[in-house]
Structure 1
Amino acid sequence: MSQDHSSFQSPFTWRYASPEMRAIWSEAHKRRLWRRIWVALAEAQADFGLVTAAQVADLQSHADQIDIARALQIEAEIKHDLMAEIKAFAEQCPIGGGIIHLGATSMDIEDNADALRMRDSLDLIRTRVKALLASFAAKIDEYADVPTMAFTHLQPAEPTTIGYRLAQYAQDLLIDLDELSHVRRGLKGKGFKGAVGTSASYIELLGSASQRDELETRVMLTLGLPAFNATTQTYPRKQDWLALNALAGLAQSLNKFAFDLRVLQSPPIGEWREPFGAKQVGSSAMPFKRNPINAEKIDSLARYLAQLPRVAWDDAAVSLLERTLDDSANRRLILPE
């Protein structure tokens, strides 16, 4: 993948993140999700006679034709990213363009899309954690009876086994997997409740609250996502905090394992060691060194991740009344990172 390094880019775009996670949080994927949600909304609205089948078909046929350059051009003029995407989409849809976003507010689209991205991200992470636990299990069996010195207060204490020490790391990861799975099961979207969560715009379009409920149910079934029963303009930001707490818990476990590895790789002990490539350079000034750079990177990124739940806490606690926008900019950072 080629990169333009003439301007700042987050290290997660090219150095640290996996290709799969980058794809989930890419600008193109976000806009495809927005369009998928608009199409699902229009399909349900067609069932209630609010829009025509031809209009829906027009949206469906252009849903994958993302034109970020055109959307950014429009955004530069109107200063609203989601409205810019609506206009870019509408330009491609001569029949259905006028019914995009009918009755909706921005967060009816964005919050549902974010919940879908969080769900996919947690699925990816849980798969990786399960693979890591399988690796730990194999090593626990392999080294179950291999003695080593245990340390308390960083002083030699009594013997233990390598397998038993590894089992402690695996146990922490199993707790993390359980918490990640719990958060994943509880993920919900905003649904379609309009500007302040009362669904007034949809009720006006459909004529009754019961039909509004049926519309939301149909769209959310299409998206494969449950909806919160009550929202403001956004879904409860506590959900972001819960997800980031679970991820910070995982980072905590990985941090301990990596830190212990660094201690055990130090020359006074020298029992564990990271792999070291044939052409790898240990230091620009001291090429004889074999630094535990992977463990150090894990600890460095875990330290950063541990701070993010605090930002999500503020987003939940300081979203005043039915919503203030001071969560918007930082969520573009804390959720993908």
Structure 2
Amino acid sequence: MSEDHQKQIEELQQQLQKLQAQGNPQYDGYSTSLTTRYCSAAMSNLFSQRSRHSTWRKLWLGLAESEKELGIDTITAEALEEMRAHLTVTDSDFEVARVEEKIRRHDVMAHVHAFGAVAPSAAGIIHYGATSCYVTDNAELILMREAMDLLLKKLAKVISNLSAFALKWKEEPTLAYTHLQAAQLITVGKRAAQWVQDLMFDLESIEQVRKDLKFRGAQGTTGTQASFLEIFHGDSAKCDQLNELLCKKFDFPACYDVSTQTYTRKVDLVVANAVAGLGATAQKICGDIRHLAHWKEIEEPFEKSQIGSSAMAYKRNPMRSERVYSLARELMSKPTNFANTLSDQWAERTLDDSAIRRIDIPEMFLLAEAILIGLDNISDGLVVYPKRINARVQEELPFMITETIIMRLVAQGASRQEAHEEIRVLSHEAGYEVKNEGKPNDLVARMKSKDFFKPIWGELDNMLKAELYTGRSAEIVDKYCGPGGPVEKRLAPYQKHIQESTTAQLNV
């Protein structure tokens, strides 16, 4: 390292000390809530500068090793050993890279020089034949793959939570809603099974995208491998072998068949569509929970000393569901950004993908993980109020049984059309009393006072049992969420993680 470079590093360190003396950087500078409040250390660390640039070094090492294996004698064993000894970028390395980037205005070349400073025997062969996207693009593919692995485990845990909840409450009758108006009965567990099914779609989508993910490999500046063809003296087979070696080293099935300077940004969009689908599911689930909390039927966990409102002491706001709902809204917007990035890539590449992808790729996964942490916390502690649920069912049940009444009357010889009209009139009268007078639903009492319904008077009270009108709800839940069902089979690879996991705790 030259004296000038060393001097510049010392000056930068002095500047940092001055900034630290002025205040705590944790509180005096902007930082994203995604990493400080909502995400795990694992996901935050994955997209950290140290993780990203250390991955670059692993890629440079992998390239050098592969080139040597294919006959490039200028790459020495000593060079490779020095590279292996410095795969993690240290704080000092970052300072060197910072100085280099200030001079060169190129982050990749800054880190090439920083790596060469600690691995001097390799300084002349680092990045041999490569373009910047060899490290930037391949690193992003590696990081996205690892991020999907983190998401899949957390998603499986949420599915497991809600599946257990569905089985526990599979027989509890509750009002269903279409158009957000009371409809025929289902069960509490049946509604949860609906949530589970949507999450299962997300699990399958992310698994498939992760499975299909390929490597960019070593493709040269415009995807022709011209530089590597030169290195290997026109031996095209060695160009293929190079990428085969790289794929093996970094555990990818293959490289994308065609690249430009980058791997096609269509890949980012495909990943984003799968991950953002989770946001839509989460918003639907939390929207349902918020409505159920409004009706006082089901609540998310609420701590003993938790405060719902600084002014209204009685409040029990569903803030966890609201948080997930809002984060999901942002996640759902990400595919639009990735679509714009793809469409703006003129010819073989423009750099206007660079800055926005530095933001969008990490944020996409940080958002998704924050949502799953929230869903895990909510789903593992949902509180059900059966008596409240039943009270609301009883308000609507007299209307719910009218179709059965029509069928019973017809079986006794009445006209179906006449029965329908009689019930329509009485239902509207009873509804008027409920809405305008605040009285209980007296539809059954009205039927008992009218001779037209005399053939079934003795059956009416027994017909007011909610469990008679939930159809196959319990059976549907058992078949889907129960032993041997689709959920159990799909979650089999994740059982160890599920069993070892504890409920996610939120930073409020």
What TM-score range do you get, normalising by the shorter chain?
Answer: over 0.9
- C-alpha separation in 1, matches of 2:243 and 2:177: 58
Q: Does 1:218 align with 2:245?
A: yes
Match of 2:6 in 1: none
Match of 1:145 in 2: 171
Match of 1:262 in 2: 290
Matching of residues 185-200 of structure 1 within 5 Å: 185-200=211-226
User: Residue deviations 1:155-204, cap 9 Å, x none?
Assistant: 22221100100010001111111111111111112110010000001110
Q: 1:77 deviation in Å?
A: 2.1
Q: Which amino acid aligns with 1:203?
A: L
Q: Does the 8 A contact of 2:50 with 2:89 survive in 1?
A: no
Match of 2:210 in 1: 184
Call closer, same or farther: CA 1:3–1:294 in 2, change over 3 Å.
Answer: farther
Q: Which of 71, 78, 82 is residue 54 of structure 1 equivalent to?
A: 78
Residue aligned with 2:83, SS:
helix
- C-alpha separation in 1, matches of 2:189 and 2:305: 31
Residue aligned with 2:224, SS:
coil
Query: Structure with the greater relative contact order (CA < 8 A, sep ≥ 6): 1 or 2?
Result: 2
- C-alpha separation in 2, matches of 1:278 and 1:71: 50
- C-alpha separation in 1, matches of 2:50 and 2:58: 12
Q: Does the 8 A contact of 1:46 with 1:53 survive in 2?
A: no
Q: Does the 8 A contact of 2:130 with 2:218 survive in 1?
A: yes
Match of 1:45 in 2: 67
Match of 1:119 in 2: 145
Q: 1:287 deviation in Å?
A: 2.9
Match of 1:281 in 2: 307
User: Residue deviations 1:281-327, cap 9 Å, x none?
Assistant: 21222232111111011110111111110110111122110000111
Q: 1:88 deviation in Å?
A: 0.8
Match of 2:347 in 1: 321
Q: Which of 215, 236, 246 is residue 274 of structure 2 equivalent to?
A: 246
Q: Does the 8 A contact of 2:65 with 2:80 survive in 1?
A: yes
Match of 1:30 in 2: 52
Q: 1:3 deviation in Å?
A: 6.8
Residue aligned with 1:306, SS:
helix
Residue aligned with 2:217, SS:
coil
Q: Does the 8 A contact of 2:176 with 2:186 survive in 1?
A: yes
Q: Which of 113, 119, 129 is residue 93 of structure 1 equivalent to?
A: 119
Q: Does the 8 A contact of 2:216 with 2:262 survive in 1?
A: yes
Match of 1:158 in 2: 184
When the two chains are superposed, the root-mean-square deviation of aligned CA atoms in Å is 1.3
- C-alpha separation in 1, matches of 2:155 and 2:341: 28
Q: Which amino acid aligns with 1:254?
A: A
Larger radius of gyration: 2
- C-alpha separation in 1, matches of 2:86 and 2:57: 9
- C-alpha separation in 2, matches of 1:162 and 1:73: 61
Q: Does the 8 A contact of 1:262 with 1:292 survive in 2?
A: yes
Call closer, same or farther: CA 1:275–1:3 in 2, change over 3 Å.
Answer: farther
Residue aligned with 2:121, SS:
coil
Match of 1:21 in 2: 43
Q: Which amino acid aligns with 2:55?
A: L
Q: Does the 8 A contact of 2:273 with 2:335 survive in 1?
A: yes
- C-alpha separation in 2, matches of 1:13 and 1:69: 23
Residue aligned with 2:184, SS:
strand
Q: 1:65 deviation in Å?
A: 4.2
Higher helix fraction (1 or 2)? 2
Q: 1:91 deviation in Å?
A: 0.7
Residue aligned with 1:150, SS:
strand
Residue aligned with 2:27, SS:
coil
Match of 1:236 in 2: 264
Identity of matched residues, % = 37
Q: Does the 8 A contact of 1:232 with 1:323 survive in 2?
A: yes
Q: Which of 304, 310, 315 is residue 330 of structure 2 equivalent to?
A: 304
Q: Which amino acid aligns with 1:284?
A: S
TM-score (norm 2): 0.64
Q: Does the 8 A contact of 1:196 with 1:233 survive in 2?
A: yes
User: Residue deviations 1:10-35, cap 9 Å, x none?
Assistant: 21121112211111111110011100
> Aligned pair count?
334
TM-score (norm 1): 0.96
Larger mean CA deviation between 164-173 and 211-220 belongs to: 211-220
- C-alpha separation in 1, matches of 2:85 and 2:71: 20
Residue aligned with 1:95, SS:
helix
Q: 1:64 deviation in Å?
A: 2.0
Match of 2:482 in 1: none
- C-alpha separation in 2, matches of 1:81 and 1:325: 13
Q: Does 1:64 align with 2:91?
A: no
Unaligned runs of 5+ in 1: none
Q: Which amino acid aligns with 1:64?
A: T
Q: 1:73 deviation in Å?
A: 2.5
Unaligned runs of 5+ in 2: 1-23, 364-508
